[in-house]
């Protein structure tokens, strides 16, 4: 049916935009919330503040429909699940995957079950899973425990797993690399991103390579990934039994796409390192207060990493750098309020009282 929306909204989501690079056909029942097309924001003040002589652009994935990059993978995973006739989808999550799965499952008229590590989910993400109507199970364990259970449940054949072990997720997420190249008019020299379960670094590398191979990008970037110091299995070379970090999104001790990350790092001549919670929170605050970009702590891990790389002289002058801001800061209001460094001043309701406080 011809609808008015065809006129009103030229952007119809990443599957419509990049169909020729995705495993879909004209008959595929696309499940979309019009995700993607997120801005690439120049972070000039941040670069100046750290004394950098390079260009930095933030791929602000917090502006996706459920406020994280997961929507790119979820439109594909849910579309493929629908095409196969699945009725129930399931995922383990540190919060964003569950929010996205819950929204897209609703859209697809499918039942959604999410397994979360009890007590270690940012408030906004929990709110999303509940409001979208997912069956929300908080397990007394961490993300790695939840993913193990989900994989076991997937083996029963009764549920469709929509974690990034599902290849459709990687296919969808690779479109962020396409958008970056389309927006910049070239590929960056470096791409920075946080690493948790390692699906995204795997997807970005696949995307950059594919765009390069069809000559839509002029070069291949080096991928620089960052883990939180208390949850850095790839950096340390061994699973972490009790991962811990303020950046709950990447509180993961045994990443499912470890091999994918290793390939991306090796093939792109990349780099992976860890950053402390203090460094993450400092970068988190800095990017909000220099450039007005509010991200969640996990996203800021790669900015903390950029500061360190810059200080170590690893970034040549004139480099073009992109960095994925994986999730919106409003996902985690507790961390924002605790770390802002400012508190509201409470005064009586008079002009004089306000003038006194603001120094007029
Ligand atoms: N940043 C945010 C905000 C995330 O939510 C995640 C992962 C990552 C970075 C790391 O990406 O896992 O592909 O390496 N969140 C998953 C979740 C684990 O359940 O929402 P990754």
Residue-wise pLDDT for 20-75, tens only, equals: 999 999 999 999 999 999 999 999 999 999 999 999 999 999 999 999 999 999 99
pLDDT at 10: 86
End-to-end CA distance of the chain: 60
pLDDT at 4: 63
Token output for 223: 């991928």
Cβ 327 under 6 angstroms from ligand 1: yes
User: Average pLDDT in the 259-267 region?
Assistant: 98
The Cα–Cα gap between 344 and 330 comes to 18
* Higher-scoring residue by pLDDT: 8, 140: 140
Residue 246 has pLDDT above 80, yes or no: yes
Atom from ligand 1 closest to the CA of residue 164: 13
- What percent of the chain has a predicted confidence (pLDDT) above 70? 98
Top mutation candidate among 200, 258, 284, 335 for ligand 1, by most atoms within 8 Å of CB: 200
Instruction: Give the closest residue to 26 by CA, choosing from 16, 36, 14.
Output: 16
Ligand 1 centre to CA of 125 (Å) is 12
Residue-wise pLDDT for 178-209, tens only, equals: 999 999 999 999 999 999 999 999 999 999 99
Averaged pLDDT score across all residues of the chain = 97
Alpha carbon separation from 254 to 70, 142, 143 (Å, rounded): 19, 11, 9
Residue-wise pLDDT for 125-153, tens only, equals: 999 999 999 999 999 999 999 999 999 99
Top mutation candidate among 249, 253, 257, 283 for ligand 1, by most atoms within 8 Å of CB: 249
């Amino acid at each position: 049916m011809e609808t008015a929306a065809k006129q009103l909204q030229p952007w119809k989501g990443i599957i419509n935009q990049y169909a020729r690079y995705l495993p879909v056909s004209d008959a595929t029942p696309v499940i979309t919330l019009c995700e993607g097309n997120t801005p690439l924001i120049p972070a000039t003040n941040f670069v100046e503040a750290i004394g950098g002589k390079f260009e930095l652009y933030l791929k602000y994935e917090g502006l996706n429909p459920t406020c994280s990059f997961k929507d790119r993978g979820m439109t594909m995973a849910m579309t493929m699940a629908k095409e196969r006739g699945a009725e129930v989808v399931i995922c383990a999550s540190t919060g964003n995957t569950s929010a996205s799965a819950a929204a897209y499952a609703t859209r697809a008229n499918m039942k959604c079950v999410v397994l979360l590590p009890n007590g270690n989910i940012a408030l906004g993400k929990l709110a999303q899973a509940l409001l979208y109507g997912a069956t929300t199970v908080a397990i007394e364990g961490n993300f790695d425990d939840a993913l193990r259970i989900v994989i076991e449940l997937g083996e029963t054949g009764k549920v469709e797993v929509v974690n990034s072990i599902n290849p459709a997720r990687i296919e969808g997420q690779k479109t962020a690399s396409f958008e970056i190249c389309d927006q910049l008019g070239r590929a960056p020299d470096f791409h920075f991103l946080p690493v948790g379960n390692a699906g995204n670094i795997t997807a970005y590398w696949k995307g950059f390579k594919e765009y390069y191979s069809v000559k839509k990008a002029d070069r291949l970037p080096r991928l620089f990934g960052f883990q939180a110091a208390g949850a850095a299995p790839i950096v340390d070379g061994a699973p972490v039994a009790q991962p811990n970090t303020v950046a709950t999104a990447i509180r993961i001790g045994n990443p499912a796409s470890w091999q994918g990350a290793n390939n991306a790092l090796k093939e792109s001549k990349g780099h992976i390192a860890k950053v402390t919670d203090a460094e993450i929170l400092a970068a988190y605050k800095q990017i909000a207060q220099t450039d007005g970009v509010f991200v969640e702590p996990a996203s800021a891990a790669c900015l903390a990493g950029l500061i360190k790389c810059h200080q170590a002289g690893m970034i040549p002058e004139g480099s073009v750098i992109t960095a994925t801001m994986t999730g919106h800061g409003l996902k985690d209001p507790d961390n924002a309020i605790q770390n802002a460094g400012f508190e509201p001043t409470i005064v009586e309701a008079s002009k004089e009282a306000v003038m006194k406080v603001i120094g007029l």
